[in-house]
Structure 1
Amino acid sequence: MPAQQYVSLYTDLLQTVRDLGLLRRRQGYYVTKLSIVLGTLLVIVAGMVLLGNSWHQLWLAGALALVLVQVAFLSHDSAHRQIFHSNAWNDWAARILAGGVLGMSVSWWRTKHNKHHAAPNQADRDPDVQLKAVAFTPQAVVDRGPIGRWFAARQGWLFFPLLTLEGVGLHASSLRHLLRRDASRTDRVDAAIVLARITTYVVALYLLLPIGKASAFLGLQLAVFGVCLGAAFAPNHKGMPIVPAGTKLDFLRRQVLMSRNIRGGIFTDLAMGGLNYQIEHHLFPSMPRPSLRHVQPIVREYCELHGIAYTEVGLFTSYGIVVSYLNDVGLHARDPFDCPLAAELRSARGPNLA
């Protein structure tokens, strides 16, 4: 199929979605969501102050982590400009939610995340498959030393325990980005917000609680936050085809074939922040979260009509796929999931598929 025909397929789908009004902003939804999440956050902080020196604070540490995960989802939506009509309002909302509430850099995250959206699961372009801790390709295993290869052989089983460190890793990566020598003016603004949030939180926590309880609170909050946030992002692409370096694909197939949806109801929508509709989110990144479930049947039917594989599984099935995939890469140093386009692309003699 010529490249222009694939482009036309996405253009036609986009026009249908636009005509149905599914790209319109849903500010009422987001105002309600923001009010509930930030109100719950204030209740937890008040509870911490009233409870004082008690090991029961650890219950609030877990609750705080869960609420901060919801803040992260809202920051994600705002960074994708899903909330407000104004780009500036979306950008500042993302900066305040990410930097002021979470203590993370929205500029660092947006740069990385935009690269991921542009080329999901492409070995040489997607930063999410170029992690140092986890190997997603056989070459990444081969390039490691003995200890790294030992870890890679078990990385599937170790992946979810490692997520307990994800919160610390996100804070550290943000600070490395913001405090680099060539930081931009915007980065310096972000740095001031992030450092103020982290400092205020840590100082207040250690003033409120003895050092042992404060450390336990901080450690538990970061661990629960990392596991819950990582568990929401992990099923979306891991275990889907890895696109070889240098491969050019049209937008529709690139986003659909490399993404996985997760079946479920209201709880899944809440726990994953709408990212369970990963295919639809990648096709329409600025679409408000509540519209994703409405566009899903349209996208699925459209893909079936045009012979494009549409992947949707249950949550725990997806976790099993992730564990199996990572272990298989580490044990056998081969691709356990061949790209369904690889044979076609290798045999093609020059059609422009971009």
Structure 2
Amino acid sequence: MRTARDLPSNGTTSADPADSTLRNRSSESTFSSAIFTWDEIRTHVLPEDKWLVIDGDVYDISKWSRRHPGGKAIISHYAGQDASDAFGAFHRDRQYVSKYLNMYRIGKVKGYDNHRSDLSRDFSDLRDLTKKMGLYEPNYWFYVFHLSHIIVLEIAAYMVVSLLGGTVLSWILAAVLIGTSQTQGSWLNHDFGHLSVFKSTKANLIAQKLVFTGIQGVSASWWKYRHYLHHSKPNVIDKDPDIKMEVFLLVGDTIPVEMAKSKKGFMPYQHQHQYFTVLSPLLLVVYYYYEVLRFVFKRREWLDLFLMMLYFVRYFYFFLPLTGLFGAYIILYLGRVIQSAWFVWVSQSNHIPMAVEHDEQDKHWVPLQMHATCNLESSPFIDWFTGHLNFQIEHHLFPTMPRHNLSKIKPQVESLCKKHNIPYINKPFWTAMFDILRSLRKSGNLWYDMSHTNDLLVQ
């Protein structure tokens, strides 16, 4: 069987349309007859030699991964694997993207269609159904309302301080309003970041820059980098950055054992379910600002840095005359703590209590997402409070779907899961909150027991 090194190189560092056309023709004529086995494909997982499969076609992404708009890491997560469903989930216009992807096509998988599972076919049908139902069409009035109430909440914070004067009560009320505005802004940023508001990708990304970076003072590019990796391989060790929290917390059953054996980490993890409630919101504000700034300077995201600076200039311009420097800082920090606590409890309720595992090459998109996510029961308030992330299962299966449509596909997803014996978990809100603490306690005790056992063996 021929390998990529036996074939003429079809990689390029140019996105010129003429070059693309030439490469497409070359792919069709030269590589269309090349057939590869899965055993061979799975060997191409090195940084300088990466293949992946989409709909039965094999692509050499060794050069393309460095130019991939979503970043090198996210596409590399599927090296040696079938990326069909992930590709479909992240790319709304498959025909447009395929036009460029074809220049990296080197052949096909032997017997691909014959080995597709019933689950794969059923999920493909379900994705087609979402399009027929028009579930990717946004309700613009929905987003106008959310952006408007974010702005109104921030204006209200200024008015409270202006009317009540520089009192501690006014600072607390202003911080609550700022924190609420910032959290709701996080949900709106999430919509733009997933390209679910506008049909134009560019329009979504511009809006995300303005909302997340300009209105919240955080890098949109940093968010995209982390969040796309999370969606690509949720709760997968060494691939999902959201579970790499060893500085503060250990999650799941595997990480605590591995950490204990390696004797890494310095926190008293057996108490993490206790200090999570108090310390996490306070520390995350500092930690994430450090990580954001580190990312911005390392990646030279100067536009993000400029917009972040404008946010703080605007904030202190309005608050300093009313509260002084100390009061302005207290309102800002308390608002961030409220936002951090709110965001962390909501986002982690869907993931921390779920399975945390090492990557499995043959795991289909649906069980990969389902084992790492759960839903919270719905109500108008809970939908608003969680930014519709209470429909986390549907969001992870169809990440570009506008959030106000997620509930409409829920019955079909439940039916698919029931047919294929995949647990579909839907929890009451407070059960999900307490499950975070129960899960952290279990993981912390696993670490402690393993550490204690290791110490006894050494003695």
TM-score, normalised on structure 1?
Answer: 0.86
- The match for 1:135 is 250
For the Cα contact (< 8 Å) 2:271–2:444, is it kept in 1?
yes
**Residue of 264, 279, 289 corresponding to 1:171:** 289
Structure 1 residues 1-354: aligned runs within 5 Å: 2-57=115-170, 58-131=172-245, 132-136=247-251, 137-138=255-256, 139-144=258-263, 147-148=266-267, 150=268, 152-165=269-282, 166-180=284-298, 183-184=299-300, 187-202=301-316, 204-245=318-359, 247-333=361-447
Shift of 1:80: 0.4
What secondary structure is seen at the aligned counterpart in 2 of 1:154? helix
CA spacing shift, 1:28–1:214, aligned 2, 3 Å? closer
Q: Which has the higher contact order (CA 8 A, sep 6+)?
A: 1
CA spacing shift, 1:142–1:204, aligned 2, 3 Å? farther
For the Cα contact (< 8 Å) 1:104–1:174, is it kept in 2?
yes
Where in structure 1 are there 5+ consecutive unaligned residues?
Answer: 336-354
Letter in 2 for 1:44: A
Shift of 1:211: 4.4
For the Cα contact (< 8 Å) 1:167–1:225, is it kept in 2?
no
For the Cα contact (< 8 Å) 1:124–1:246, is it kept in 2?
no
Aligned-residue Cα RMSD (Å) equals 2.2
Shift of 1:274: 0.5
Shift of 1:44: 2.6
Between the two proteins, the alignment pairs up a number of residues equal to 329
Structure-1 separation of matches of 2:278 and 2:317: 28
CA spacing shift, 1:155–1:95, aligned 2, 3 Å? same
For the Cα contact (< 8 Å) 2:221–2:304, is it kept in 1?
yes
Shift of 1:53: 1.9
Structure-2 separation of matches of 1:310 and 1:159: 27
Letter in 2 for 1:172: Y
Structure-1 separation of matches of 2:174 and 2:158: 9
Shift of 1:206: 3.6
For the Cα contact (< 8 Å) 1:122–1:244, is it kept in 2?
yes
Structure-2 separation of matches of 1:146 and 1:270: 37
Structure-2 separation of matches of 1:293 and 1:104: 30
For the Cα contact (< 8 Å) 2:370–2:423, is it kept in 1?
yes
Letter in 1 for 2:208: A
Structure-2 separation of matches of 1:298 and 1:266: 21
Moved more, 128-137 or 272-281: 128-137
Identity %: 25
Structure-2 separation of matches of 1:270 and 1:311: 20
Shift of 1:103: 0.6
For the Cα contact (< 8 Å) 2:153–2:180, is it kept in 1?
no
TM-score, normalised on structure 2?
Answer: 0.67
Moved more, 21-30 or 187-196: 21-30
For the Cα contact (< 8 Å) 2:119–2:420, is it kept in 1?
no
What secondary structure is seen at the aligned counterpart in 2 of 1:241? coil
Where in structure 2 are there 5+ consecutive unaligned residues?
Answer: 1-113, 450-459
Structure with bigger gyration radius? 2
For the Cα contact (< 8 Å) 1:263–1:312, is it kept in 2?
yes
Letter in 1 for 2:336: L
Letter in 1 for 2:166: N
